[in-house]
Structure 1
Amino acid sequence: MAIVVAQEVLARRYEARLFSLASLFHFACYVALIIIPFVISYTSQSLWIMEKTGREQPEVHFHHEVLVVAQGAHPSQRFAFSSSAGVNALFGDALRAVSVRLSEADENDDGRPEFLHLEVSIPLRPGEDIVGLTVLAALDYSLQDNVRFGTNATAIVQYAGGVAGSGLQFWGDLELHAARALPPFTSSAVGPPTLAGALAATTADALAPAALISRYMAFPTAVHVAPRYPVWLVGGGGSRFTANVTLAVRPAVVRYQPRVAEMLKWGWVQYLSFFIPLWFALRQIKWFAAVSQITPCRVVVDRPHVRKINDHDF
């Protein structure tokens, strides 16, 4: 009685001279195995991923620079205030001692506020009413996860009630708009002009909301306020107009250029997705060509090494 203690596979090999049709076909299959997956993945535009999309909670903070412009009931009547003393001097009789309160709410304590609150209170004299309001507040906007990106931002809140109002309740979302994919590493992006730069104007006309908004919108990458539910509180004749603005900082859908490591990883996976099935197919084709002698070659069969076993070996 005997047991199997080891085993080996005896192979049937197909050999050919170096300069023969079989050898040429063999090397051609290897070349095709390398080139064809690359050509297919490249022409299908899936080899190199040039743009990716990710969701990220941005970090947004107030920059304590504010410009408030309110439109009175008469076209020539307006009320204004800014955080710059030099600009306030340009407003003349339109200047009012506006009270502005800024606050941030970080509900999950991750250092990235989810809500920004802005309260504007404008004192009014008898007979004065407000029919429209524009508020510009400077922000610092940055991304850290998918890309390193930072830009100057201005929250622009504008609403016209059409009739005299006692206040405004405004809810909106902060959204990042980029005309092109963001580069992976950008410590400080070239963005719109800061509100502080706009407040360096030397004339009151340069501080008109239309002029400021026009310059801000000219930049392809900027943060905008998407109004959701503005509520105009009708009722004039009061001594104060109060606006409460709540801006939600939603997770940004960021289009960005992947890093080199991400591109190589994606390209390698795409290459292998075509390489593996092609390798299996060419392997079967080469075997069929050799067995059928389509490419003439010599058959060599391994012979087992047999040693006579005597009874006393057990």
Structure 2
Amino acid sequence: MGLYKLFSCNVEIQYKSCLLSKAMLFTLVTTLLTIILPFLIAYRSRGFWLRTHSYYEQPSVRFAYEYLLVAETNDPSQPIVCGEAAALNQEFVNGEENCVQIQAQEHDFNEDGKNDALELKFILKVPQEKTISSVLVILALDFQLKTTCPLHMQSLAFIRESFILPPTGLKHYGDIEFYQITDLPCVRNIIDIIYNNSLMSYSKRSSENIVEFIMTNYFQRQFTTLVKTLYSNGYSGHTGHLKIDLHLRIPEMEVKYTPNFLQELKWAWPQYLSLAFIFYWIFNRIKMFVFNHRLLMAWKVVPWKKH
């Protein structure tokens, strides 16, 4: 009948020496090298500390029902301006009668409680003596991140189109994107509301153009939203009206944030530990060779031999 291995254990052979001895100094140096060298190699190879991290999230984006539409005409001093912000600038008030209609729809296709697309339609009445050369649409958005790094801010979507021939329509398809200059200061259970204020306010005392005023203040922020154009097409003709259709998708967006100390440690520890095991094995082999060949004096203690 064959025999099978059921259990095994190692025999421990000890090497002992005095505190003030070459063997003790050698053991102390190799132990320190086993601890320090993995850290130095992992740190010098870069990426040891996790300075920035990112995740993907579909934000909650809603139309804030504040907008500014500026249609430049052949008379630069008399553009057609629509929107609540236009009333704050007295020189544009007379153009409001040309803003015939606006429609806004929010679509949640997968019914998860977050909008997947925004659809807006504008119809402008173009006076017979005017010709539109370009259109700028500024939409106010309510933007929220709710998972890893809570953020609630009021942002903008800028859409601009120029025309060579007198236009009768414009269709624009694009994606809303989250743009960061710095990482989000991610603090659990605390919502960042530093930018949660209206961007359509305009000071009458300001000497700047209303569009320049809004854009200057907006692009001083560290976190903004942009519109990535996927498809845009203009239709030319003479109908006396300009119809603008905007279709904006809200996809998952990359969010960069500053990780906390525990997350940095969780990232650094496996790098250190994987190297520490290798150096532990190497220095154990070195110590075994040194003490077995008696290169340094130490007392060898074997369990089955009497002391």
CA offset digits 1:269-302 (Å, max 9, x no partner):
1210211111111111111110011111122222
1:255 maps to 2:259: no
SS in structure 1 opposite 2:291? helix
- AA partner of residue 197 (structure 1): S
TM-score under structure 1 normalisation? 0.85
Deviation at 1:166, TM superposition (A): 0.6
**Residue of structure 1 in register with 2:155 after alignment:** 153
Task: Write the letter of the residue equivalent to 1:167.
Answer: G
3-state SS of 1:197 partner: coil
Larger Rg, first or second structure (1 or 2): 1
Question: How far apart are residue 213 of structure 1 and its match?
Answer: 2.4
1:94-140 CA distance string (max 9 Å, x none)? 22244222111111122221211111111234444423211111111
Q: What is aligned with 1:188? A: 192
- Residue in structure 1 matched with residue 174 of structure 2 by the alignment: 172
| Shift in Å, 1:15 | 2.1
Cα pair distance change 1:139/1:275, threshold 3 Å: same
**CA offset at residue 79 of structure 1?**
1.1
Checking the alignment, whether the CA contact within 8 Å between 1:134 and 1:209 is kept in structure 2 is no
Seen in structure 2, the aligned counterparts of structure 1 residues 262 and 139 have a Cα distance that, compared at 3 Å, is same
Cα deviation, residue 228, structure 1: 2.2
Query: Separation in 2 of the partners of 1:7 and 1:177?
Result: 60
In the alignment, structure 1 residue 59 sits paired with structure 2 residue 63: no
TM-score of the aligned structures, taking structure 2 as reference length = 0.87
> How much does 1:257 deviate?
1.0
- Report if the CA contact (8 A) 1:67-1:81 is conserved: yes
- The separation in 1 between residues aligned to 2:228 and 2:130, in whole angstroms, is 30
**Amino acid paired to 1:145:** T
Q: SS in structure 1 opposite 2:231?
A: coil
Q: Is the 8 A contact 2:170 2:243 kept in 1?
A: yes
Residue 7 (structure 1) shift: 7.3
Amino acid in the other structure paired with 1:14: Y
Cα distance change of structure 1 residues 10 and 211 upon mapping to structure 2, 3 Å threshold: closer
Cα 1:24–1:193 change in 2 (3 A) is same
Mapping for residues 35-50 of structure 1, pairs under 5 Å:
35-50=36-51
Moved more, 164-173 or 53-62: 53-62
- The answer (yes or no) to whether the contact 1:165–1:234 under 8 Å persists in 2 is yes
Q: Residue 200 of structure 2 contacts residue 214 of structure 2 at CA under 8 Å; is this kept in 1?
A: no
In 1, the alpha carbon distance for the partners of 2:8 and 2:222 equals: 70
Moved more, 104-113 or 91-100: 91-100
What residue number does 2:214 align with?
Answer: 212
Equivalents in 1 of 2:78, 2:191: separation in Å? 43
Report the counterpart of residue 109 of structure 1 in structure 2.
111
CA contact 2:87–2:93 (8 Å) conserved in 1:
no
Aligned-pair CA distance for 1:30: 1.9
Give the equivalent residue in structure 2 for 1:225. Answer: 227
CA distance in 1, matches of 2:7, 2:231: 79
Q: Equivalents in 1 of 2:80, 2:102: separation in Å?
A: 14
Instruction: Give the length in aligned residue pairs.
Output: 300
Contact 1:90 1:204 in 2 (8 A): no
The question of whether the paired residues in 1 share the 8 Å contact of 2:102 and 2:122 is answered with: yes
Partner amino acid, structure 2, of 1:230: S
- Per-residue deviation, residues 36-91 of structure 1 (Å, max 9, x unmatched): 22222223233211011222212211111111111223333321121258437552
The sequence identity of aligned pairs, in percent, is 24
Letter of the 1:179 partner, please give it.
I
Q: How far apart, CA to CA, are the structure 2 residues paired with 1:67 and 1:5?
A: 81
Q: 1:162 to 1:213 in 2, by over 3 A?
A: farther
**Helix, strand or coil at the partner of 1:135:** strand
Aligned to 2:32: 31
| CA shift in 2, pair 1:217/1:12, >3 Å | closer
Structure 2: state its 5+ residue gaps.
Answer: none
What amino acid is the match of 1:172? G
Large movers: runs of 4+ above 6 Å = 3-8
Q: 1:294 to 1:91 in 2, by over 3 A?
A: same
Alpha-carbon offset, residue 156 of structure 1: 1.1
Helix, strand or coil at the partner of 1:46: coil
Task: Please give the secondary structure, in 1, of the residue aligned with 2:200.
Answer: helix
Q: Distance in 1 between matches of 2:42 and 2:116?
A: 42
